[in-house]
Structure 1
């Protein structure tokens, strides 16, 4: 019989075993026998194990961040920012903000029942602060209800939080931005840390709003960029603990022991005093002495944050203060730095700052009280806000502010 011509890579069948046994090709066996190759394979296997552990940890971290947001943050934290930006740019080019059109009808709900968290009982109602209607930057005839203030929350009979919706400019007319006015006589502000930013420390405040802290809860809104020299360009201070560096000249949202908050430039109008309990810095002012600086149109990515695709018009948020001490929050899709600043300026802000940007981080939620004070019903102000209304009931990766009835 002629000798077998089968190569050793074919199946050999063991005696008495009907299952074929496949052997690696001889060349592959010889290659794997080399010490240097074994080292490379071991290193690659270790890298894959680390990658799975690292990405898995990011995906399984507490909170309700979306998978896309978690992966993007993981990539930026591991020197893959250019890759993330390239993918976001491709996404933005496929679905840029629409020009023209008409938004869905403005449908802010009726006012919630008045809240009296301290059980003061009958008390003289404070006179409400009159708010002038906002003029739509889109021009022309306003939509029904556009720019009109609606009461979201009252405290002992007086409007405490009011909101308006309006189109942000004459081009992006199918979108609505939200503007919220908060009366410091009736509400107090509480800064909360995030699990990742500023990160775990002895802050004395949890990275969420647990049930025992929901009595009298009226609203919540997002914080700013990541606290580092390349993004927020400022620091974070809460209850005696500092992350990063509180930086002179930085736009700062400052929280005080009596519950009020204000916005200003650090070391030039606002500074550290014994009454300060929290500071959240982010970039520079976008409204200063009631004026919008010319440079809000310059260096959009390098000066005002890395937007999706480097675009001017993305989801943005900001906060400012009026001469009578009201805090005003504004946010929405298809906003530039200037159109955000214009909204805050029109709402009466003498100083204002940008907070976070891009859809994964935007939130303004308000809460309707029910029979159980620890279980208010959360609602998004803008219906197209990506993050859920109960976002801050779970531990969250980014800092935020909770607003309570006094």
Structure 2
């Protein structure tokens, strides 16, 4: 509630019909998120940015990590699992070791998860990693009740019932469209115009997906069924994008946003064409790029940031039941485990078995 209180004390929030609408609008979102986003939309963005830059300026200090804060290590090495990610020394139990998730009809895992520590200076920063096998999955971009536009019916802003029996994972999308410096295309409709040069998650007609620079790594055509853009690439050609620490052109958000030590998430593509998702607390933008690279991404983009915006769930299905049972990528992720199974205000990505 820190940001919400700061906005209130700053005199931004005044009684109005628009505030009441923001607090009651359909779709999952906490009161804090509703207040802060309303403030941004009504002239308070500068105050919110100042408070966030101050609040998240302190580097993370973690004396020790509790076992309950880490994903459980694998009980066995799955056949065909990716190479172990290089851990810090001394390694934590399970660090960099992949755990196989839901499998295709051929018995091949569609998802592997692990965790890494990409910041040797701040060794308590733990980042969850998910690798989604392109040959085994179908990717879906789903609009929320307010993002990309406030026109989606509440019941459409969740994982459809027809997909839940084959659900592999769901995860957050990018910034709100007004802050994303990019566009949104899905279901044959351009909700927000696409920007040449923007970092883009692109879904093809066969359900496969890629990440790249729009206009260079991917272009419009009959094979493209969905595009979600967010800022500029943070990883390209297997290297961090130049200027991440300075952000002088505000290619990665508002001024000093790149310096915040906060929850961040990103999506990338590896050399084999698999999707790689990373997320964790206490990261600045440079650390996020390092996390994507350590996880094997050759191109990557930042998705959403801050604690209530970052969520990744993998799913299993109990015997005789189509109902998906969610597991958080990191136990410390604050979101509700039924997020995206119920209507949400923000757009998101769902992944199902091919």
TM-score, normalization by structure 1? 0.76
SS of corresponding position for 1:360: coil
Q: Of residues 184, 188, 205 in structure 1, which corresponds to 2:138?
A: 188
Name the residue aligned to 1:146: 95
Structure 1 residues 202 and 170: alpha-carbon distance in aligned structure 2, compared to 1, 3 A threshold: closer
Alpha-carbon RMSD across the aligned residues, in angstroms, is: 2.5
Structure 1 residues 284 and 90: alpha-carbon distance in aligned structure 2, compared to 1, 3 A threshold: closer
1:131 aligns with 2:82: yes
Q: Of residues 191, 212, 215 in structure 2, which corresponds to 1:267?
A: 215
Structure 1 residues 351 and 128: alpha-carbon distance in aligned structure 2, compared to 1, 3 A threshold: farther
- Distance in 1 between the 2:250 and 2:324 partners? 40
1:261 Cα offset (Å): 0.3
SS of corresponding position for 1:190: strand
Structure 1 residues 198 and 308: alpha-carbon distance in aligned structure 2, compared to 1, 3 A threshold: same
Please list every run of 5 or more consecutive structure 1 residues that lacks an aligned counterpart in the other structure.
Answer: 1-49, 112-126
- Give the number of the structure whose alpha-carbon radius of gyration is greater: 1
1:218 aligns with 2:168: yes
Structure 1 residues 269 and 308: alpha-carbon distance in aligned structure 2, compared to 1, 3 A threshold: closer
- Distance in 1 between the 2:120 and 2:152 partners? 47
1:298 Cα offset (Å): 1.5
1:83 aligns with 2:47: yes
SS of corresponding position for 1:79: helix
- Distance in 2 between the 1:327 and 1:196 partners? 26
Once the two structures are superposed, what CA deviation does each residue of 1:58-115 show, in whole Å capped at 9, x if it has no partner? 122223311111100011011111233344456447xx4532422222333769xxxx
SS of corresponding position for 2:190: strand
Once the two structures are superposed, what CA deviation does each residue of 1:238-288 show, in whole Å capped at 9, x if it has no partner? 011112221111111100111100011111120011011100111111111
Q: Of residues 356, 361, 365 in structure 1, which corresponds to 2:304?
A: 356
CA contact (8 A) 2:159 2:342 kept: yes
| 1:51-200 alignment runs, 5 A limit | 51-89=15-53, 91-92=55-56, 96-105=58-67, 106-108=70-72, 129-136=80-87, 139-156=88-105, 157-200=107-150
Please list every run of 5 or more consecutive structure 2 residues that lacks an aligned counterpart in the other structure.
Answer: 1-13
Q: How many aligned residue pairs are there?
A: 335
- Distance in 2 between the 1:177 and 1:307 partners? 24
Name the residue aligned to 2:11: none
Tell me which of the two structures has the higher relative contact order, counting C-alpha pairs closer than 8 angstroms and 6 or more residues apart: 2
| 1:268-347 alignment runs, 5 A limit | 268-299=216-247, 302-306=250-254, 311-347=259-295
Q: Greater CA deviation, 339-348 or 256-265?
A: 339-348
CA contact (8 A) 1:221 1:365 kept: yes
CA contact (8 A) 1:307 1:358 kept: no
Name the residue aligned to 1:10: none
